[in-house]
Structure 1
Amino acid sequence: MADVNLWLLVGIAIVVVGFFLKLDSIAVVLIAAVVTALIGGMKFNEILALIGKSFVGGRGASIFIITLPIIGISERYGLREQAVKLIQRIGNLTAGRVLWVYNIIRQFAAAFSLRLGGHPQFIRPLVHPMAEAAAQSELGEGQKLDEKSIEEIKAAAAASENYGNFFGQNMFAAASGVVLMASTLSENNIQAQPTEIAMWSLPVFITVLILSGIQFTLLDRKIRKRGKN
């Protein structure tokens, strides 16, 4: 049995200590990677070349960062306020209905691989304030949402994004997760086409739509009950 260089585990120790001390996560991981590579015998120039190659190869994953300044400027000049005013003009809306409609749109968009949604792009500036405004409108001007209801609406808004993204994307046969599952099964001598995996995701897709509707309906009931007390 070949000797194992236990010093390579120093990188793991750096990550554990860094996260425990709540240091910058990107810096901690980068330092751990560099230290591990140096212990493994790589030259510093080789490490830099590898990091640069990895960054260039995965640069598409960071494109969303470009949208953040736009979202920030839009919020600064009244995006959230306009979303609230829109909801106040529409009758018969509740927080649960707003979130369920967004969840439906998000799931179907993900099923067709349309990059619609995101916590910073939609939930924070639009969906959450719209849901909160709908809940407030339902209670009436004489009552205000309590702190617990506000926090539950925030959590449910974030959940609506997660449901739509996670359970909708596998309906698209060319999605990275579906391709990964198909290739993994193929490596284990199990033949499954991406289209077949996507079709088997349909029951989960429908179940999530139903269960999320129930969850958001129960949220409305809890908010109404607290408003009456």
Structure 2
Amino acid sequence: MTNKQPLSRERRAQLDAGLVEATHLAEILALDFARLLAAVAPSLPASAVASMRKAANSGITLRMQGAATLLRAHALGDPLHWQTHTSDTVRGWACYLIGSDPRLTLEHKLDAMRALADDPHFGVREWAWLALRPHIAAEPLRVLAHVHGWTADASPNVRRFACEALRPRGVWAAHIALFKQEPQHAQPLLEALCCDESRYVQDSVGNWLNDAGKSQPAWVRALCAGWAERHAGAANAYVRKRALRLLDKAG
């Protein structure tokens, strides 16, 4: 998701106007939120756009939430209006509109996010769980119970969301203290996905366990050892290798 070539003026203008999707992370990070807001929501007052311009140096997740807050404040907060937009970033704002909607229960937020969790664009799929992460971190067992059935969904994107959203650690996301210390709560979910045919899901399960191994290495080793005895396929072998990559280096 990186690109060594600098963005051309034409490409940047297309992204800022919401006319195209970003093709990699560097384009997402380089996008001018103020220009994008002005382009896709021309009814916003100039003061609202200016406030987003002042936040240009804030972290990307803060800018995503800030854009959603501005849209809601100016009666533009219906996520259904934005979640089919051409721009992946605008669809990401729909994620944050859902995640911050005070009228929705946590279960309703998860269900409303399901279509965005299955978005064709990699970035939107990340915003789908990141926008809910504060609520997930606060009530992980409640979320775990709700999304367990998603592990049988036909879409690997939805199956992956069920795992990725509950990872114990995250670079841009709040950690889940319970799963860092007691990862066994999530074992039924991990068991349901441990032989998934999708590499996208396999990576998520492996990364989940890699996270858990930083605080509970013995539990991760034991789980993987049990899987090695019960699952002979290539999918589970890949998951185990990814799960143990740091532990194996540590010896």
**TM-score, length basis structure 2:** 0.25
Greater fraction of residues in helix: 1
**TM-score, length basis structure 1:** 0.26
Higher relative contact order (Cα pairs below 8 Å, separated by 6+ residues): 1
* Higher Rg: 1
